[in-house]
Structure 1
Amino acid sequence: SGPLKDMDFSVQEGGGPRILHQFTLEPPAVSFRASGEKAGIIDIEPRTGILYINGSLDWETKQVHKLQVESLDESGNTVKGPYAVTIYVEDINDNPPEFDQKRYFGVVRQNSRPGKPFMHVHATDRDDPKTPHAQLSYSILHHFPNPYEEMLFQIDNATGAISPSRTGSYYLDPQKQDTFILVVFVKDMAGTTTNAFSSSVDVIIVVMESLWKAPPTIHIKENSTQVHPVNITKVRSNEPGVIYDIFEKEKLPRLPFSISENGDIYVTEPLDREEKDTYTFFVVTKDKGGELVDKPLQIHVIVEDINDNPPVCQKDLTVIEVQENEREGSNIGTVFAMDMDKKDTLNSRLQFHIQSQEPEFPMKNLFYVQQDTGTLHLAGRSLSKRESAKYFLKVLVTDPDFKTICDVEVHVIDINDQIPIFEKSDVSIFNTILDVPI
């Protein structure tokens, strides 16, 4: 109790009727009068000066009530006042948190980055946000189905952001399981006490195939005459707004590939298979802070051969020695040639033909060559050095588009196939006495 003056009171919401204060009368005052925001339950007893609440205040309805109190004389004239009486309503934890949807739906891509939110849940609490009564904490109560020891999803307990866990980033696969139901739990009092209010809601999550995947092996024909750069493939991140970049797997003088801001991959110049027949590089995505968003993708490029190389003779002149007594059909040697185009393709298939023989004596076609191996054989009878000591062959070597002449020189080697013969048939015989000086 006390004399009439400005006063402030703090009152917890709820709690029912109560007396706040008693003002004392000072003559000539005989009564009190209250006016203002009385909410139908706040008033003062005129004769005794008791300020009271006849009911329960509600913080969620009104947090502050402002009244004016004055004292009156017998004629009803103001003696003192009006004075300001302010009643502050204190919040108690009397409201459970409520989600803003009855059910949530979300979509997540396979191989999404762990910890990257793909959806949010949101709840509100009508209690005073400046107190723990309205501080909410989110958690996952149930996870259906849950095929692994660790949950595939996680939730930020403060923001309600849902993201794949590390396990989920690795194992989520729409071919195995495309729908999950999470029961998300929210508690007030920051989740620190068992006496907190709570609510729960179902979250339905659909898993979709990842957009971020490596294309099949890319095949590019060498020495293309197209205007470069030429688009060869495209990649697409699961996340919008990322920055695409390329880095090489192996150190090269130059990497003839580039990528656009939309994930289109280009070859920037004609390629030469004979210089390099395969390329392997990585495509990455980064956020604006330079942090990796997706796992690097490996891109594999094979340079396809075209027939752009002629046959080449292994030697400028192939010399083969053949003895006179070699029989018909004998293998006398091989003409070797090579082609720089891709091995075991028609572009590098070589065929051999004898274009000419010099001299054509004692007959043409003394030799033949196996068309696919270049092996030379005697076609007719044995050679004779007396007829010709050397033969000069021009062997035509062809692939499907090019041809080359290889020069071959055949040396005929003499053998001891003749008996000695005297020039004269009548020979005189002399007897010589030994040991007689001449």
Structure 2
Amino acid sequence: MRVSLFVVLQIRSDQDRDISIRYSITGVGADQPPNEVFSIDPVAGKMFVTKPLDREQRSSYHLRAHAVDMNGNQVENPIDLYIYVIDMNDNRPEFKNQVYNGSVDEGSKPGTYVMHVSAFDADDNTTANGMVRYRILSQTPHSPIPNMFTINSETGDIVTVAAGLDREKVSQYTIIVQATDMEGNLNFGLSNTATAIITVTDVNDNPPMLTSRTFSGEVPENRVDVVVANLTVIDADQPHSPNWNAIYRIISGDPSGHFTIRTDPVSNDGMVTVVKPVDFEMNRAFMLTVVVSNQAHLASGIQSSLQSTAGVTISVQDVNEPPYFPTNPKHIRFEEGVPAGTSLTTFSASDPDRLQMQQSIRYSKLNDPADWLSINRTNGQIVTTATLDRESIYVKNNVYEATFLATDNGKSLFL
């Protein structure tokens, strides 16, 4: 309350009819800081307010009034004066923040708590001057309806008032909140506004969906750690979150575990990878059935039967594999001294490429330290070309070692 030279009260001694009395006041607001807020007419005893009063700075004063005669002698005992400053509505509500941030899960039911805003009014909160009420002025965007939220007028708690929150359609709302004193009376109350930003948080309400019912790829036989097919999915949930991250599983078509599916952390694609070599002669193709799900469980009410499946055909590419000797190394026992031209044994190499049009296997000598042996190029027969000698420097522990080569289409194997 702001007044000037306002008569607060008047004091008067019963003896001032007989003698001249002088009046004075002491205390905070008189002769103590803040000084001279109050003054008194020393003759008439009228006390005045000489400076503007602010209840929010000081709500009451305690003074003492004195009465003395012309000689300064006390003619009355001092009396206590209590001055209470009456509140006026001169302060607007002030929000603690100009911007508030809150969040709520998409799909939340009506009545779900979202956030709290709070405003303070410096006026007396035991009177209407300091009693603040809240209301929502606007919501942006208006989707799916203009009033998705409501606010408790007394507490400032914001809650959902309607269903239909969908992060994939609206990820954030901006709410303008108004606080008004005088118990919300818009005609007499003072107001202020603040902004509430509500983020709609993601829940796993969109299962990943493979972009095709069928995928295909190919793999060379005997290769590992190569990507042979790429699976793509779409998922409307928050990218790079557990609700979006895809997990692929092979549920049929690979009983021996030749393949696994790794998830690309950037694209979310499924990379079908060979982890165990495949053999064209045993499997020309694989027909895999793949299912995809998320790292996080689906939200309540979303059917897990909505998991997406697809067929993946992996064709095996035939590779020309080298011939092999069924017995390797091969041990032959002969006495020394057998003459040149003696047949020792026949090597027969096998070719694993049963389904390829192969050239015939050719044999050759790769290593024969003493030059004692020869091999028939077409049938692999080993014949001596010199006399075998156990005492030769090329014989170690009664064993002479020679190496022969079987070749098919340029692929070789040593024996």
Relative to the length of structure 2, the TM-score reads 0.48
